[in-house]
Amino acid sequence: MKFSQLALSALVAASVKASIDIDQDLNFDDVIAPKAGNPKMNVKSSRPKEEKPKIEHPPFEPLAAPKGALFFEQFTDDTAGRWKASNAVKAGTDGEFSYVGKWAIEEPTVFPGFKGDKGLVVKSPAAHHAISAKFNKPIDNKDNTLVVQYEVKLQKTLECGGAYIKLLSENEKLHAEEFSNDTPYQVMFGPDKCGSTNKVHFIIRRKNPKTGEYEEKHLKNPPPARLNNLSNLYTLIIKPTQDFEIRIDGKVVRAGNLLDEGVLLPSLSPPKEVDDPNDTKPEDWVDDVTIPDPENAIKPEDWDEDAPAKIPDPKSVKPADWDEELPLYIPDPEAKKPEDWDDEEDGEFVAPEIENPECATHGCGPWKAPLVPNPDYKGKWVQPRIPNPDYKGEWAPKLIPNPDYYEDKTPSDLEPIGAVGIELWTMQNNILFDNFYFGHSVEEAEFVGNKTFVPKLAIEQAEENAKAESIKPKDDKPRKSYPTRLDHFKDDPVDFVVETARHFILNFSLDPVETIKADPLVFLAFVASGFTLFAVFFGILGAIGFLFKSLIFGSSKKPAASDKKKVEPVEKKEGEVEKKNKKEDEASTSSKATETTAVKRATKEDE
């Protein structure tokens, strides 16, 4: 209960401290072309009014392809036909297709934007999909900037699936074979989510000039993908300086230089030096850091290895009310012999034992002092060790120049790119792709985003907010307005906490990472509240289970053998109860018990 109160107090305190500006609008220009500081996106949230404003969905107007665009796709009637689904077949089969997933070009059904705005949609759940579009002219990125940008809209919560794209290598196979997982590519980029894995892929394939083989170089620390149901804009920028940026919704989420150590795995260039495979450790090499101390080779005479770790507490005194004459356990007076009990086969019935009710307020049975750490305990003697004067260090083979070394100084100089392909497997369908831009101009990509993505996102957010308002309970009372959040809290703490929590959840659904960064105290309050509810729920569940077990099975012990071990009493109760030895009836031992471990109680006559 105290923890629950603390969690609620934390939520209230965090709400007061939270700096979410409920009435602040999006600065759309800063979203796509962020200025210093990258201001976070805030969702405009307004109080429900008596007349709900109608959300306008203007008709879609295609954007003219930018002058420098090398590939631009809005899935209009005149360009959508260049996308071809793969008819690749599985190896070793009689024409079985590798990719059975269906594609469609259609409008979104979840939080739609412009009326008539279509995109490429994954239609089949739990299936492999592959589709590609060839370029009119291969992209040559030598000594140039490459900008890759496109939108992804997850119309269903993505649990396991990808939404990444591949820039396919220009070669004869590209035009002679069906697109598949084996089709060579230069860059792979985009979101991927499955289980606990959630990342935005950035992979480049580079050719090893020594072997002629291609290697995939993965971004070591990829950013997480956005998993909401709105459109999200993914942008990759690779500059001739080898600097790169990954943007999501116009905001830089990763940046660095491809040549820096640890940015890509494996590294672009192999190490200059490697271990000499012919080098061996000398026989006289000493790599023992320590040795036994020769001056302390004999165990001290006063070292008692047999001394126990604990001894009875010499200061402990038996409690005055401790009764050693009373047994700690007694036969259950309410126990009855089962109707199917056979004395000849099962032996004399012995009632199960219960704790002696007379021992409820004081200790019973033989008393023993509690154990305490033994001040004279030393344990097993081990010869002490000292630093080895002959230690030479850890041996390692000498380094020699790497015969396979090469240097890749210009990974931005990709091989010619002839097409874009989407090849993925997903459990969820209705993933929508839209507004592809490939080119050499960051400014053009920002222009495209500001003209297409930003106004579309504003409409989608309005739809999302309207849905959030529609599921709120109706309140006929007019909403009050407050000059400050502190005034709101003082006037109506409950309403303040509810509104703050609602606003945090809306922001969290759009951008979890930034929302947590902006309001960490509110997030921690939610976590604390969750743990409280979890503990209360399982506490109630445990109590119900205990009551149910008591009602069904009762509280007394089952019949047991008379030679069973007693539970060792704890001091008050540190005393140990000695059990009385009970003799078995020799006449009954010849009979084998079939369904019970109870044995016949010894009688005086038997003795």
pLDDT digits (tens, 9 = 90+) for 294-352: 988 888 888 998 899 999 999 999 999 999 889 989 999 988 889 888 888 888 889 89
Rounded CA-CA distance 332/554 in Å is 13
Q: List residues bridging with 194 in a β-sheet.
A: 160, 197
Given the candidates 3.80.30.20, 3.20.20.70, 3.40.630.30, 2.60.120.200, the CATH classification of the domain at 71-274+409-457 is 2.60.120.200
Confidence of residue 434 (pLDDT cuts 50, 70, 90): very high
Q: What is the mean pLDDT of residues 591-595?
A: 38
Instruction: Output 268 or 513, whichever has higher pLDDT.
Output: 268
Residue 84 is given by DSSP the state E
Instruction: Output 535 or 385, whichever has higher pLDDT.
Output: 385
Helix (H, G, I), strand (E, B) or coil at 119: strand
Rounded CA-CA distance 27/347 in Å is 88
Helix (H, G, I), strand (E, B) or coil at 175: helix
Per 3-state DSSP, what percentage of the chain is helix, strand, and coil (rounded to 5)?
20, 25, 55
Does residue 266 have a cis bond before it (omega within 30 degrees)?
yes
In 3D space, the residue among 384, 364, 392, 389 whose CA is nearest the CA of residue 577 turns out to be 364
Rounded CA-CA distance 327/577 in Å is 8
* Whether the predicted pLDDT of 47 surpasses 50: no
In terms of Cβ atoms closer than 10 Å to its own Cβ (0-12, 13-18, 19+), residue 521 is: middle
Q: What is the mean pLDDT of residues 211-228?
A: 95
Q: Note the pLDDT of residue 431.
A: 97
Q: Which residues contact 209 (CB under 8 A, 6 or more apart)?
A: 406
* Whether the predicted pLDDT of 239 surpasses 90: yes
Q: What is the mean pLDDT of residues 212-234?
A: 96
Rounded CA-CA distance 341/559 in Å is 11
Q: Note the pLDDT of residue 419.
A: 96
User: Is residue 147 within 8 Å of 233, Cβ to Cβ?
Assistant: no
Report domain extents, the chain. 71-274+409-457
Query: Other C-beta atoms within 10 Å of 432: how many?
Result: 24
* Whether the predicted pLDDT of 202 surpasses 60: yes
User: Is residue 257 within 8 Å of 243, Cβ to Cβ?
Assistant: yes
Q: What is the distance of C-alpha 408 from the center of its chain?
A: 35
- Give the percent of the chain with pLDDT over 90: 53
Predicted model pTM? 0.59
Query: And the tokens for 419?
Result: 């097409």
Instruction: Output 131 or 515, whichever has higher pLDDT.
Output: 131
* Whether the predicted pLDDT of 12 surpasses 70: no
Q: What is the distance of C-alpha 392 from the center of its chain?
A: 45
Query: Other C-beta atoms within 10 Å of 301: how many?
Result: 6
Q: What is the mean pLDDT of residues 237-246?
A: 98
Residue 69 is given by DSSP the state -
User: Is residue 144 within 8 Å of 240, Cβ to Cβ?
Assistant: yes
In 3D space, the residue among 13, 74, 2, 1 whose CA is nearest the CA of residue 526 turns out to be 13
* Whether the predicted pLDDT of 272 surpasses 60: yes
In 3D space, the residue among 496, 424, 411 whose CA is nearest the CA of residue 238 turns out to be 411
* Whether the predicted pLDDT of 570 surpasses 50: no
Rounded CA-CA distance 122/131 in Å is 10
Residue type, 520: P
Query: And the tokens for 412?
Result: 């931005």
* Whether the predicted pLDDT of 221 surpasses 90: yes
Of 190-199, 203-212, 219-228, 491-500, which gets the smallest average pLDDT?
491-500
User: Is residue 435 within 8 Å of 452, Cβ to Cβ?
Assistant: yes
* Whether the predicted pLDDT of 170 surpasses 90: yes
Tokens 């492999």: give the residue.
128
Alpha helices in 309-430 (DSSP H): 343-346
Q: Note the pLDDT of residue 42.
A: 40
* Whether the predicted pLDDT of 246 surpasses 90: yes
Rounded CA-CA distance 431/103 in Å is 10
Residue type, 274: V
Rounded CA-CA distance 172/487 in Å is 71
